[in-house]
Structure 1
Amino acid sequence: MTNTQALRDKIEHLANSANALLTEKGAVPWTKEEQASFDNIADEIESHQKQLKAIERLRDLEADKFFNTAAKPVKSDGEVIGAVQAVALYLRNGKNVTSEQATAIHNAMSTTTASEGGYTVPTEVEAMVIERMKAFGGMREVAQILTTASGSPLNYPSSDGTEEEGEIVAENAIAGAQDVTFGTVALNPFKYSSKSVALPVELIQDSAIDVVSFVVDRLATRLGRITNKHYTIGSGSAQPFGLTARAEVGKTGSKGSATSASYDDLMDLIHSINSAYRKKNARFMFSDSTLCVLRKLKDTTGRPIWGLGDMREGVPSTLCGYGYTENDDMPAMAAGAKAIAFGDFGKFIIRDVVGSTSMRRFDDSAFALKGQVGFCSWTRTGSNLIDTAAVKLFVNSAT
């Protein structure tokens, strides 16, 4: 595996080179060669950062696997079978197990309702599903996660206190009153399916394959992609409310900026948010294609506005002094597109129903005749922006 320290050293060396170039040029306009050199350094830093993040994520998953494998055991006639091992037995063999193994599976995985079928996976495997879902899109990285014991409809309280203030009271005078205005925001869960996936019997039966990790990864990837899409652009009609459906427009690009944004546009978007939201957790969110556009923005001397001073490992890159999250479910820059979001994403809530993740193996003829085994997974989740003043959008011009 690539040495992470070597990657960190490369990132720091490249960042020092970039900063030296910025210092050397000062306010002097850049040549095309100097600009190309700078852009190449920036590209290489971003590439190393992504590689480092991938390595660290893999190590986290390996650590989770180690501890999950040592999860609370299930005893069956003297045989000790851990919860994850019980799931592996079910995925690998279905109902073709011994009575002792069947008891272990039953103890580790509770049967779901008849309409869902299959088994509710143990908490160790449910955590694996959620962790893999975080890898797609970015919404789970920045949103507030709310877990509830049931999937009943939920109206979440909302309140905007940014315009509230106190007063000076004269001696012996009565303090004034200012009521707090509360609203409610629907935060209801929806049942998501991974769709069934067919895998060769030989692959599932191969003892060298970590069947739990393999199947969970494939199913959770599908769940992660569809849920992140809905967290981002969901309409709220027969699906969760997504960010772009609820956030207000903070800045609309001027005519001619259908596929671009200017430094002034970004500053206007930043200041469309009340300063109370900008001071702690504010950041940008946009797709990778928009990131490419923004990284090329220059000031009046041709200097990039990208935060190269923060490109060392451990200090994320910034834009106009704020961090950013890549989310490819955010619309790409196009006429009328809601391409950039800015604000406190902690006001966006993702609701997960605990214990709602279930999994089923299919051995029916539709799969068996092809030498395959089918798998499908379900989970219940929803989302909404509880404070529409906390996040604002940049919208590209119509023409």
Structure 2
Amino acid sequence: MSDFIQRLQERRANIWEQAKVLLDTAEADKRELTGEEEQTYQRLNADLDRIDERVKDMQAAEQRTRDAEAAFADLLKRPAERGTPQAKGEAEEVRSWLTGQSGSRAFEIRPDGPMPMDLRTLSKLTAAAGANTVPISFYNRLVEHMIEVSGILAAGPTVLTTTTGEQMQVPKTTAHSTNASIVAEAGTLAANDPTFGQVPLDAYKYGFLLQVSHELANDTAVDLVGYLAKQAGRALGNGFGAHLITGTGSSQPNGALTAASLGKTGATGVAGVPSADDLIDLFYSVIAPYRGSGSCGWMMRDSTVAAVRKLKDTTGAYLWTPGLSGSPDSILGKPLFTDPNMPATAVTAKSILFGDFSTYFVRQVEAVRFERSDDYAFNSDLITYRAILRGDGDQIDTTGAIKYYAGAAT
């Protein structure tokens, strides 16, 4: 970690200490924040968010630098032979397809190697596409942007990648064997069998069109790979990611929020805003095996986080703790993830999720398919591209692995 990033994190901790002083002072005086104090508190919170983005960008830049050094080292170890034609790089192949020189109408994007997913992309998230010195594969760039949009994909669900899109049946237990009982000598043993069920995962199709001019496609100064990856990732991620949270399960994925069970209902008269006791109750509504999972965490939207940052337990300790060294922020020791598709706090709103997100399964069909057409917008000299993603999601363990907090009815 660079000294600059270390200083940013120290500044972040200092800002949080300033925010705590404001809250502690108002609490000691048994009053709410004054108008001036509230403005200061909101400014400090905004500073925290800006530092978070800066640290993320700096970490991504350092990762790109390490990748560049590794790539150059590899090239130096394996010099190309003179007169040997070199294979086209991926960016060149994509550009050749974009402009129609390859003669192919379709271009399938698949992850490299024997494994269906490249988890290394999780350490390279950045909001800026930019002009990078290191070529990044088109598929990985697409996954990066989808994870940025959809918080649940970063929360550690089980991701199944398949080569075909037929319905997949995932087996699950619906009841375990009950406790054994004392049996008299020569007595009959009672049947005590577990029960099983299945959860179907389909492959719903998400798609969109994107048009660019021939001038843009032929301009070598334009990062078409980054541009298309960002636009396609955001469009597909916004559609698929929203359904992974709030999908109804009818002709669309069954969202994690839809499938979760009630863990805690808030008190009346507070417009759905949770108290510290509410979050503690929600925490312990999930049984210990799920709470102890490495994929156990919190999910809420940014505006809810702003309210949660003010909450303390009975000892006066804040429930929210800022993350260090690139780790996520946490509540009661469990990581916090944000997703814009989570509802805001309101009367009856299900605004917070907590539990083991590895019990939520996301199914993706292997290829993200891109196709081009010169004829669709022939009269305006535009090249039309379409991107298609097939996937589904559902909660496999419905015994209470993920619980939600809901505001009271009034």
TM over 0.5: yes
- Secondary structure, aligned partner of 1:382: strand
Amino acid paired to 2:7: D
Q: Corresponding residue for 2:370?
A: 359
Partner residue of 1:312? 324
The residue that corresponds to 2:404 in the other structure is: 393
Task: Give the structure 2 partner of residue 118 of structure 1.
Answer: 106
Task: Determine helix, strand or coil for the equivalent of 1:192.
Answer: strand
Equivalent residue number for residue 342 of structure 1: 354
Q: Percent identity?
A: 28
The reply to whether residue 322 of structure 1 matches residue 323 of structure 2 is no
Partner of 1:85: 92
**Among 296, 300, 307, which residue is 1:293 paired with?**
307
1:192, distance to aligned residue in structure 2 (A): 1.0
**Structure 1 position 368 matched with structure 2 position 356:** no
1:212 aligns with 2:225: yes
Residue identity in the other structure for 1:12: E
**Cα distance between partner residues in 2 of 1:9 and 1:357:** 40
Q: Is the 8 A contact 1:154 1:186 kept in 2?
A: yes
Following superposition, the deviation at residue 18 of structure 1 comes to 4.9
Query: Is 1:226 matched with 2:239?
Result: yes
Aligned length: 369
Aligned letter for 1:56? Q
Distance 2:65 2:211 in 1: 25
Q: What RMSD over aligned residues (CA atoms) do the two structures have, in Å?
A: 3.9
Please, which runs of 5 or more residues in structure 2 have no aligned partner?
75-83, 112-136
Query: Is 1:378 matched up with 2:366?
Result: no
Q: Partners in 2 of 1:272 and 1:292 — Cα distance?
A: 23
Name stretches of at least 5 consecutive residues in structure 1 with no aligned partner: 71-76, 107-116
Q: Which residue of 2 aligns with 1:146?
A: 160
Cα drift, residue 387 of structure 1: 0.9
The counterpart of 1:15, out of the listed 6, 13, 16, is 13
Is the contact between residue 120 and residue 358 of structure 1 (CA under 8 Å) also seen in structure 2?
yes
In structure 1, what is the Cα distance between the partners aligned to 2:195 and 2:216?
58
Q: Secondary structure at the match of 2:198?
A: strand
Residues 57/362 of structure 1: CA separation in 2 closer, same or farther (3 Å cut): farther
Aligned to 1:313, the other structure's residue is in SS state coil
Corresponding residue number in structure 1 for 2:345 = 333
Corresponding residue number in structure 1 for 2:270: 257
Change (3 A) 1:163 1:254: farther
**What is the TM-score with the length of structure 1 in the denominator?**
0.78
Mean CA deviation greater in 5-14 or 207-216: 5-14
Partner of 2:171: 157
Q: 2:196 aligns with which of 171, 182, 195?
A: 182
Quote the residue 1:52 is aligned against: 55
Distance 2:311 2:68 in 1: 43
Distance in 1 between residues matched to 2:85 and 2:402, nearest whole Å: 56
How far apart, CA to CA, are the structure 2 residues paired with 1:224 and 1:183?
30
Cα distance in 1 for partners of 2:139, 2:85 equals 27
Deviating more after overlay: 80-89 vs 371-380: 80-89
SS at match of 2:88: strand
Question: Which whole-Å deviations, capped at 9, do the CAs of 1:272-310 have from their partners, x for residues lacking one?
Answer: 111111112321100111111211234568x572434x4
Q: TM-score scaled to structure 2, two decimals? A: 0.77
- Give distance in 2, aligned partners of 1:17 and 1:131: 29
